[in-house]
Chain A
Amino acid sequence: MPGSIAESEGDYDPREHQPCYIFTPANIQPPPAKRRKVEPATGKRGRKGRNTRIIPDEEENVEVENVEGEAPCPFPRLLDGEEPAAMAVRRWETYNRLWRNIEETVEDVLEGMDVGAVNGICKFVAEASEQRPESNQQQELEDLEMNGEEAEEEEENLFDEDDEAETTIRTGLVLAGPNIASHSVLFAKVKARIAQEGVGRVILLTSSDSGGIKGILKKIVKEGTQGEASGEEEDEVDVGRDRSGKKLLNYDLQILVDWVSKKGNQAGKIVVAIQDTEAFDPNILAQLVDLMIAYLNRIPFVLLLGVATSIDITQSKLPKSTIRKLDCKKFDVERAEECLDEVFKHAVIGGVDEILPPAIHLGPNICDLLIKRQNEYTISIQGFISALKFVYMTHFFGNPLSVILGFESEEDLNNVLTPVHIKAIRNLQSFRRLVEHHLSKKETHVVRLLLSDDDYLKTRIHHTLIRSQEHALQASLIISIFKTARSFTYVSSMPLPPLPELHIKLLTGTFHNSSTVREFLMAVKKLNSHKLTDFLRTLTTQYPKSPLSEELVKYLAGLETLLRDLPSHARSIPLQLPTSSRLVPAPSTPSDALGEKTVLFNHIISQVHTTLQNFFSSQSILLRDTNGTGIENGFLSEVICYDWVSPSRECFMPNIRGVVEGAIFNPKDWLPCECCPGDDESDEESEDEDGAENEDGKESRKRKKDQGEMGVLSATQPATTVLYRLYCESGALINMYDLWQAFWSIVGGDDDEEEESQDGEKGMTKELAQALFYRGVAELRFLGFVKYTKRKRDCLAKLAWKGL
């Protein structure tokens, strides 16, 4: 119910000028009943239309009341509103259930990811202070800096006094990778963990704090002394005053010293963690380090530096004198790719640890998009998960048949499949393909059953769904076998291509031909006998159920007997094929017997090679279904597979500038009016799209001819469009007067006499044109296309080049 476009004249809306307000509907009415009447289906748009948004078919949205009465089901009823309300709710529930599963797995994975690093840091902090404190040589220095307010805390110092000055501070360098979005999460984890272990307390600093040393000290003092100490009120009284009762300034580290000495050993470490070291002002950091070292004998400081780039870069930013004072230890946090691999394995491929695979199969295109976005734009694992969630949302929101996913039993499934759904399934493209497939095999009875027997169709559906799960398991098996097997070969020194890449290859059926697999198979041939034994043993024990294992067990037995037969002195020397392609063993072998064995070994190894080769090619072909098509083209692929790229791309990787430019340049795409000339392309498009507009197209083309050279510019177009087109043609500096003249010549009609007289269709009054011109320029400026420039009077500087 869009509001009226027309700005109501003279009707001043005070809310428009209010900074913020609470929305209340204009005409306050009781909230409408949730359930509205379902209007007869209008069904204007095909569900799989070109539109990239998931727009439900019917115009009116039919909210469905949730049975449980908690959060109402936000899903509209699809299938032209014929979808039973209960099924929409069920769809909603299914979505929630399936996504929650995935979310939980992913959370577990992520939880486990940083654990190592967090533990390491925690341990480091705990051990950091064994070398404690010592002299007061630095006292002078800090006295200078701290207003000389404290001079006599020698006797107060709890710690033994040593002659050696503390010159370095224990520092943990946390290499957290380029994804700065994950840093705060990581540091929050570290903070929580350190607090939990009672090792100390963490004061988290970010570059936004680096305004001044005072502010930082204030923060350190404040966070260092508050918090859990809330139970001990006497802190409030004591801390913050020196012995004479004078109040200390709130950034005086002496407060912290007092606090630490009061707490004694319970205080633990005071960990100062800087989240984004590179962005932190190096001078401030140097000062901070100096101060911390000066106080190190009284406050057990530990420093943590988060590094997003590399140690080298961080080092180059800091003064050398500061670096010398840092006693560093490096912590590698799990790298983003490994994290992604792991998440991808669990959330997309599935089948890990015999858990059922995810219900939706992601097709190669969407996988590719997700991974590309991940690698090239966000590098944030959270972003990946969001994108994945969006895929689920899209699927369940817009696809009425998605309700059949995630069923528990065949019976359950049959309940879900209402006649409406059956009808919808019979209308699927993939159903048609299935029927054609059977027809081509002359299996007419099957076709008849498919078309008329609902029960038969239901079994088929069930079968297909089960098969799709097997399919996913199989894919996951192939990849993990490959990964394990590959780790035995020398190729493993080269990095394994990321998991998603392998998966995409598998989906597109190019896996077994890929260079990765071929290299691996070559490398298998070069295994020596010891390695091969390990190799076979691992494969057979890890994957006892795989179709490979039977044969591999046989080879393993053969190999073992072969090795057992070797003379004892030769057993330690691994058998190996010569690196040259000759199959005949080299004459240098110690004895004929050994030579024989080599030939036997050669036999085994080539058998293993062939078996593996067959396995990979046959399996990945098997994945491609009976008629050579993958699951993405098989029966029910619309439901099982998700391979739409455009919704995700539009929602996550928008081309904002391109869209704005396109719209302004060619408003015809958005305003299919008859008055404006369109571009050639858009005309053709509209003709292509529906023949009904054919005449419109012709008309506008005729008009265009009439307009002759004016071509695509016309007075009826929005003023901003006209100006923008002029703008596109002009140089880097635009004289506003000339722009105005050009604009006027377009909107104001050609002849001067005409201009004042009638504001008919074409000509408009000069004042109006001027107003429109002003507004158009203002809009261009507002959108960021031009700016005023001081380089020349009344000129605009161009800021954006179309398509650049």
Chain B
Amino acid sequence: MLKRKRPSPPPLPVPQTPRRNLNYVHAHSPTKPSALRTPMRPPPDEEDEDFDPDDLPVRNADKSAKKKSARALVQRLIRGDDSEDEEEDEEVEELARRIYSDDEDSEGEGAGATIEKETRAPKPGAKGKDKTPATPRKKKAPSPPPPNTLSGSDLYFSQHHRKVPVSNNTLATIPPLEPAEYFRLLRSYEDHKEEKENLLKLHSDSFPQWLFELSQGFNILLYGYGSKKSLVESFAEHAYSAQPSRKIMIVNGYIVTLTLKDVFNLLFTTISPDGAPKVAADHSVNLETLSTLLAERPSTQILLLVHALDSDALRPIRVQSVLSQLAHHPQISLLATTNHIRAPLLWDSATLTLYNFLFHHTTTFINYSPAECAAIEESLDMGRGGRVGGTRGVRFVLASLPSNAKLLYKMLIESQLESMSGDMANTETEGGLDYKVLYQRAVEAFVCSNDMAFRSLLKEFQDHQMVTTKKDVGGNEILCAPFEKEQLESILEDIAAV
């Protein structure tokens, strides 16, 4: 929940946190929760001015409800925070919280007010433009002490010691952005061009220094915010002009499909263009081959420029260890970039010693290109069905499946789309298909011959969360692809295209 202008909550007595309170109540004196709590309640302060006296009788009368809800909350806590079916419990939980928030006036605005607001929040279907819960609040509140005056650790604890309620708004209300439009807009927008170029210029001033450091057996790691791709490329140019005989090899670490095999392959063919040895499956063999190759050609110098050393493709420990051994070779120097704030956790001391890094701070502020930062592309799927990864993953999975599985999925999607176009109002239920019906259709279409085969086909989809199963009122199993209409359509197109 974002509350930029929210007045900072009044100091809370620590034992007042719901969790501790509830556990305690539940375990020791289930009969008298409020009696225990009353002495802890802070004396009425100015916060209590908007304290509604009408609440009082309600609160007393609600004791049993309170107990029940306490139990619900406790159970939820026991099950752990990460339980996925939390949404289902949302209502119960919210009810519980509302009941409690009456009780815990000390939480004041924080909990109580927001929940009230939430209940008033526009329904997801309604146009969110005119009724924005966040904006008006922002304008109203006058000059509050910003909450970020707290230092890191204090802020951390203050945000964790009680659960800050988060509104139930979803991104569904924002009209989706078409990919082409998205990238066009991103390309067209540019800020601080001159400053960014100055920054690049500043960094490129240290190119001679970097070259010197590389020549001295160090490797260089660039870190800092912003895409360092153009910087590294201009460094490549500089390095080339300084010593054209040097082989400069650029590795795009951000490419998901990148493997060490690619790197070795290119290394081998570069070092010995005629008769490059085959790349073995075992990388320690490759390393040996490489060092014999290099030993035969002592004048060969290789400069390895790796974009995003902390990318997914290069993150596995084994890859890092092979790379560090590569970088350790005296004829190979490495200049790599990292972006993730926790990148240094990738390396243990042995790897780090092999890497022998000098860290250079190069903040460029250049926006990452979509290729570099896969998250940019994925971000388009934000707010579409809540399924992380979007349709991209589906495409991958489908590509790897046999044709009958594809056919089955196509059938499911088609029937789902039909039911969607049938009644637009019913988009929420996502019009699934009965298990038996789908099975029948599958058998008719010769997708599978028996229930076993059908199950095993379904299993694959369920593993990838491409199909969800629900029970309807009659107890029938309803299968459903958890996507929005547009996504379903695009998937259908993909299947048809293949």
Interface residues of A (CB under 8 A from B): 1-7, 9, 15-26, 31-32, 53-56, 59, 61, 63, 71-72, 74-76, 179-181, 183-184, 208, 378-380, 382-383, 386, 389-390, 393, 397, 650-652, 654, 656-657, 659-661, 663-664, 667, 670-673, 675, 709, 716, 718, 720, 725-726, 728-742, 744-745, 750, 752, 764, 767-768, 770-772, 774-775, 777-779, 781-785, 788, 790-795, 798, 800-804
Contact across chains for B200 and A737 when beta carbons are under 8 A apart: no
Q: Are A774 and B177 in contact (CB under 8 A)?
A: yes
> Are A783 and B209 interface neighbours, CB within 8 A?
no
Known contacts A1-B238, A71-B215, A379-B349: does B170 contact A737 (CB below 8 Å)?
yes
Q: Is B339's beta carbon under 8 Å from chain A?
A: yes
Q: A736-B171, A783-B339 are in contact. Are A16 and B212 (CB under 8 A)?
A: no
A656 to B223, Cβ gap below 8 A? yes
Contact A734 B2 (CB under 8 A): yes
Whether A772 pairs with B230 at a CB distance below 8 angstroms is no
Contact between B262 and A393 (Cβ–Cβ < 8 Å)?
Answer: no
Instruction: Out of B139, B142, B242, B386, name the residue touching A793 (CB < 8 Å).
Output: B386
Contact partners of B250 in chain A: CB under 8 A = 15, 20-23
Which residue of A has the minimal Cβ distance to B135?
A745
B194 CB contacts on chain A under 8 angstroms: 673
Q: Which of B309-366 contact A (CB under 8 A)?
A: 318, 321, 338-344, 348-350, 352-354, 356, 358-361, 363, 365-366
Cβ–Cβ contact B266 & A20, under 8 A: yes
Q: Within 8 Å of chain A (Cβ to Cβ): is B207?
A: yes
CB-CB under 8 A from A772, the residues of chain B are: 185-186, 189
> Could you show 11 A-B contacts with beta carbons less than 8 Å apart?
A2-B230, A19-B255, A76-B208, A660-B224, A731-B159, A731-B164, A735-B169, A752-B130, A782-B339, A793-B386, A801-B156
Which of A656, A667, A716, A782 has a CB less than 8 Å from the CB of B368? A782
Contact A2 B231 (CB under 8 A): yes
Q: In the complex the two chains form, what is the Cα distance from A15 to B372 in whole Å?
A: 12
- Cross-chain contact A801 with B2 (CB below 8 angstroms): no
Bound-state Cα–Cα, A716 to B195, Å: 13
Quote the shortest CB–CB distance from B131 to chain A (angstroms): 11
Give the shortest distance, in Å, between B253 (CB) and chain A (any CB). Answer: 9
Is B471 an interface residue when CB atoms closer than 8 A count as contact? no
Number of A-B contacts (CB under 8 A): 370
Q: Are A784 and B342 in touch, CB under 8 angstroms?
A: yes
A59→B195 contact, CB < 8 A: no
Question: Which residues on the B side are within 8 Å of A718 (C-beta)?
Answer: 191-192, 365, 367
Q: Would you call B340 and A783 a contact (CB within 8 A)?
A: yes
A79 to chain B: closest CB distance in Å?
A: 15
Residue of B nearest to A656 (CB): B223
Output the least CB separation between B14 and chain A (Å).
18
Q: Which residues of B contact A664 (CB under 8 A)?
A: 225
In-complex Cβ contact of B369 among A3, A7, A31, A784 (8 A): A7
Determine if A779 and B341 form an interchain contact, defined as CB atoms under 8 angstroms apart: no
Across-interface contacts of A55 in B (CB, < 8 A) = 205-206, 209
Asked if residues B365 and A667 are in contact (CB atoms below 8 Å), the reply is yes
Q: Which chain B residue has the least Cβ–Cβ distance from A178?
A: B349
Q: Return the chain A residue nearest B170 by Cβ.
A: A794
* B157 shortest CB reach to chain A, Å: 9
Chain A neighbourhood of B358, CB < 8 A: 390, 651-652
B339 touches A652 (CB 8 A): no
Q: Shortest distance in angstroms between A298's beta carbon and chain B's nearest beta carbon?
A: 29
- Segment 116-166 of B: residues with Cβ below 8 Å from A: 128-130, 132-135, 138-139, 142-143, 146-148, 151-153, 155-156, 159-160, 164, 166
B375–A781 touching, CB < 8 Å = yes
Please report the C-alpha to C-alpha distance between residue A63 and residue B241 in the assembled complex, in whole angstroms: 11
Cα-based distance from A59 to B343 in the complex (angstroms): 32
Q: How far is the CA of A20 from the CA of B250 in the complex (A)?
A: 5
- Bound-state CA distance A32–B242 (Å) is 8
Stretch at the interface among B52-60, B377-385, B409-417: B377-385
Residue of B with least CB distance to A185: B353
- Interchain CB contact under 8 A, A794 and B2: no
Determine whether the beta carbon of A2 is less than 8 Å from that of B204.
yes
Please give, as numbers and ranges, the residues of chain B lying within 8 Å of A650 by CB-CB distance: 359-361
- Within 463-488 of B, Cβ neighbours of A (below 8 Å) are at none
A656-B341, A778-B379 are contacts. A801–B153 as well, Cβ < 8 Å? yes
Contacts of A31 in B (CB 8 A): 240-241, 244
Residue of A nearest to B318 (CB): A208
Whether a CB of chain A sits under 8 angstroms from the CB of B82 is yes
Known: A20-B251, A180-B348, A804-B155. 4 other contacts (CB 8 A): A5-B230, A179-B349, A383-B352, A661-B341
Task: Check if B138 sits within 8 Å of A745, measured CB to CB.
Answer: yes
B167 within 8 A of A: yes
Q: Which residues of B contact A736 (CB under 8 A)?
A: 171, 382-383
The chain B residue sitting closest to A803, CB to CB, is B152
In the assembled complex, B252 has its CB within 8 A of some CB on chain A: yes
User: Nearest Cβ in chain A — how far from B110, in angstroms?
Assistant: 10
Is there contact, CB below 8 Å, between A25 and B353?
no
A22-B270, A671-B195 known; A778+B2 contact, CB < 8 A: no
Contact B81 A20 (CB under 8 A): no
Residues of chain B within 8 A of A32, CB atoms compared = 241
Assess the B166–A795 pair: CB atoms within 8 A. yes
Chain A hits for B368, CB < 8 A: 779, 782
The contact of A673 among B152, B192, B352, B360, by CB within 8 Å, is: B192
Determine the chain B residues whose CB is within 8 A of the CB of A380 once the complex forms.
349, 353
Q: Which residue on B lies nearest to A657, using beta carbons?
A: B341
Q: Does B274 contact A (CB under 8 A)?
A: no
| Interchain residue pairs A-B with the least CB separation, the first 5 | A804-B152, A803-B152, A2-B200, A181-B353, A731-B164
Give the chain A neighbours of B196 by CB distance below 8 A: 5, 671
- Considering the complex, give the chain B residue whose CB is closest to the CB of A52: B361
Residue B296 is within 8 A (CB to CB) of chain A in the complex: no
B134 near A742 (CB under 8 angstroms)?
yes
Identify which of A17, A379, A651, A731 contacts B360 (C-beta below 8 A). Answer: A651
Minimum Cβ distance to chain A for residue B76 (Å):
12
Contact partner of A778 among B164, B201, B375, CB < 8 A? B375
> Does B47 count as interface, using CB distance less than 8 angstroms?
no
Which residues of chain A have C-beta atoms less than 8 A from B133's C-beta?
738, 741
Contacts of A652 in B (CB 8 A): 358-359
Residues of A within 8 A of B142 (CB): 709
Determine if A741 and B189 form an interchain contact, defined as CB atoms under 8 angstroms apart.
no
- Are A775 and B341 in contact (CB-based, < 8 A)? no
- In the assembled complex, the Cα of A244 lies from the Cα of B188 at a distance in Å of 77
Cβ of B78 to closest chain A Cβ, rounded Å: 16
CB distance from A188 to the nearest CB of B (A): 13
A-chain residues with CB within 8 Å of residue B365 when the two chains form the complex: 663, 667, 670-671, 718
Measured between beta carbons, the chain B residues less than 8 angstroms from A732 are 159-160, 164
Contact (A180, B350) CB under 8 Å given A3-B230, A671-B195, A738-B2: yes
Cβ B341 vs Cβ A181 within 8 A: no
Q: How far is the CB of B203 from chain A (nearest CB, A)?
A: 8
Per-position contact with A for B222-251: 1 when CB-CB < 8 Å, else 0?
011110001101101110111110011111
Q: Which residue of A lies closest to B194 (CB)?
A: A673
Give Cα A725 to B2, complex, Å: 11
- If A656-B344, A716-B191 touch, whether A742 touches B249 (CB-CB below 8 Å) is no
| A738 and B233 contact, CB distance less than 8 A | no
Give, as a whole number of angstroms, the nearest-CB distance from B413 to chain A: 22
A801 to chain B, nearest CB (A): 4
Q: Pick from A208, A659, A716, A734 the residue with the most CB of B within 10 Å.
A: A659
- Of B206, B257, B349, B382, which is within 8 A of A774 by CB? B382
CA distance A31 to B239 in the complex (A): 11
Which residues of the partner chain B approach A774 to less than 8 Å between Cβ atoms?
177, 182, 376, 379-380, 382
Q: Which residues of A contact B208 (CB under 8 A)?
A: 56, 61, 63, 74, 76
Cα distance, A496 to B68, chains bound together (Å): 67
A673 x B248 contact (CB < 8 A): no
Q: Given the complex, which residues of B lie within 8 Å of A72, measured CB to CB?
A: 242-243
Check B437 for interface membership: any CB of A closer than 8 A.
Answer: no
Question: Contacting A21 at CB < 8 Å: which of B143, B190, B266?
Answer: B266
* Contact of A800 with B258 in the complex, beta carbons under 8 Å: no
